[in-house]
Amino acid sequence: METTIARQPIFNTHKKLFAYELLYRGLEELSLALVGGDRATSALLTSSFLTEGLEKISNNRPCFVNFTEELLVQNVAANFPCDKIVVEILEDVQPTPAVIAACKQLKKQGYTLALDDFVYGRNLIPLIELADIIKFDFRLTPIKEIGKALGSLAPYNIEFLAEKVETYAEFHQALGLGCKYFQGYFFAKPEVMQIKELAASTITLLGLVAEVNRPSVEKKRLTELISADVSLSYKLLRYINSAYFSRVSKIDSISHAIAFLGENEVKRFITMLVISQMASNKPTELVHLAAIRAKFCEGLAKASRKAANPEELFMLGLFSLLHAMLDVSIVEVINKIPVSNDVFLALTRQEGPLTKFLETVIAYEKRAGDTCCKSLNSIEVPEEKVTGIYLAAVSYADTLTSM
């Protein structure tokens, strides 16, 4: 039976990545309701630490992991490094003597404790006294209630995390309440919801993306474009000599790098670096997510029983967040880049044969199990392959964005 997991970023007040929450991702036959919280967390931890390796999933960031009452009492968390996981205590866990004793022991051993989906009640004070972080769900709890709860929690030495923050307005609202950490996809949406002119520097960079991705561009011209930019040259050589490729001999020339990777892969690499430069004033996780989406879409294309073009789908995933990076409409920015008609339709109108691939990826990100299952069926990708495709995309993105 497959264990399907994903991760969701957690940011600090400066919109810098602080940690990830590892999420059990149940599809139809693996829904959380069917397997139960104990089994879900056990499967997630086993997969994360024993099968895949924590570094591959977390990129060496702390990981928030859900713990049920049973798992706390059984002291399961103590089997894993205290500097690698944050013990996230689920909202239905009651402060019984056994739970409090288990939490005290974890604190003594150096673990960080977080209370999930918190709603203040005096009966929770024994847990509050042990907690390091308290999470508030911005979708479920009214702002006034969160503010009132924060007032009641003022005497305690606790940091607050706002989760399911979906817009920049909500981010600033949570910031104003005194939250220190933020979880949700606000960072993947335009910060200014109004049409504005692209800066001259951005237009220049888009021009470079356009030239690199023209079907007619030759290897000689590609070599010239990269060699003319010291930063591009350095990062390409660093990437190709990284552990991701496990090469024995070192590659030290641009022409050799292009020959090894292939022109299409080099085009992708340059496109990613240029996009990263355009989004330099945005959370780094935004570019990271774009890279994951690109490789995830490509992987779904390769696994699909339909005749899907992996190259097109890579670009679809990569460009799906350009509007958020540049704070302009997707139509304006995509008109400046040569893409296929199918990619254009999927990005601007959510229509055409590629749309369901991107829908699958976004549903997976947001734990929308039913939507994800329907989309997988539509693109004819077996559910059991999704975890491997996702983890490969994460590994690719972690390597690429660390250059």
Structure tokens at 321: 């967040």
In this structure, the answer to whether residues 164 and 217 fall within a common structural domain is no
pLDDT digits (tens, 9 = 90+) for 295-345: 999 999 999 998 889 989 998 999 999 889 888 888 888 888 888 899 999
CB neighbours (10 Å) of residue 172?
Answer: 12
In this structure, the answer to whether residues 11 and 160 fall within a common structural domain is yes
Any domain includes 17: yes
Structure tokens at 347: 């990005």
Q: Please state, in angstroms and rounded to a whole number, the distance separating the CA atoms of residues 252 and 265.
A: 17
Boundary-marking domain end, from 130, 157, 187: 187
Is residue 310 within 8 A of residue 265, CB to CB? The reply is no
Boundary-marking domain end, from 142, 160, 187: 187
Q: Please state, in angstroms and rounded to a whole number, the distance separating the CA atoms of residues 106 and 56.
A: 25
Average pLDDT estimate for 188-195? 66
CB neighbours (10 Å) of residue 62?
Answer: 16
In this structure, the answer to whether residues 364 and 385 fall within a common structural domain is yes
Q: What is the Cα 150 distance to its own chain's centre?
A: 28
Instruction: Give the chain's domain count.
Output: 2
In this structure, the answer to whether residues 179 and 229 fall within a common structural domain is no
CA-closest candidate to residue 394, choices 291, 317, 250: 291
CA-closest candidate to residue 181, choices 67, 61, 23, 17: 17
Looking at the DSSP bridge assignments, the partners of residue 67 are 89
CA-closest candidate to residue 236, choices 273, 201, 203: 273
In this structure, the answer to whether residues 237 and 285 fall within a common structural domain is yes
Any domain includes 194: no
In this structure, the answer to whether residues 162 and 209 fall within a common structural domain is no
Q: Which CATH number does the domain housing residue 223 bear? A: 1.10.3210.10
DSSP state of 382: -
pLDDT digits (tens, 9 = 90+) for 16-59: 999 999 876 444 433 433 334 445 445 445 444 444 556 667 78
In this structure, the answer to whether residues 365 and 267 fall within a common structural domain is yes
Let me know how many helices (H) and strands (E) the chain has, helices first: 21, 8
Q: What is the pLDDT of residue 403?
A: 65
Beta-sheet pairing, 112-115 with 85-89: parallel
Any domain includes 193: no
Boundary-marking domain end, from 187, 208, 226: 187
Is residue 111 within 8 A of residue 85, CB to CB? The reply is yes
pLDDT digits (tens, 9 = 90+) for 62-112: 989 888 888 898 888 887 888 888 999 999 899 999 999 999 999 999 999
Average pLDDT, the chain: 84
In this structure, the answer to whether residues 257 and 126 fall within a common structural domain is no
Handedness of CA 191, 196, 321, 345 (dihedral sign): positive
In this structure, the answer to whether residues 147 and 237 fall within a common structural domain is no
Any domain includes 261: yes
Structure tokens at 97: 């003597």
- For the chain, what percent of residues have pLDDT higher than 70? 88
At residue 188's C-alpha, the angle toward residues 184 and 190, to 5°, is: 125
Any domain includes 192: no
In this structure, the answer to whether residues 76 and 219 fall within a common structural domain is no
Range(s) of the domain holding residue 121: 5-187
In this structure, the answer to whether residues 121 and 255 fall within a common structural domain is no
Looking at the DSSP bridge assignments, the partners of residue 182 are 11, 162
In this structure, the answer to whether residues 232 and 107 fall within a common structural domain is no
Q: Please state, in angstroms and rounded to a whole number, the distance separating the CA atoms of residues 403 and 291.
A: 13
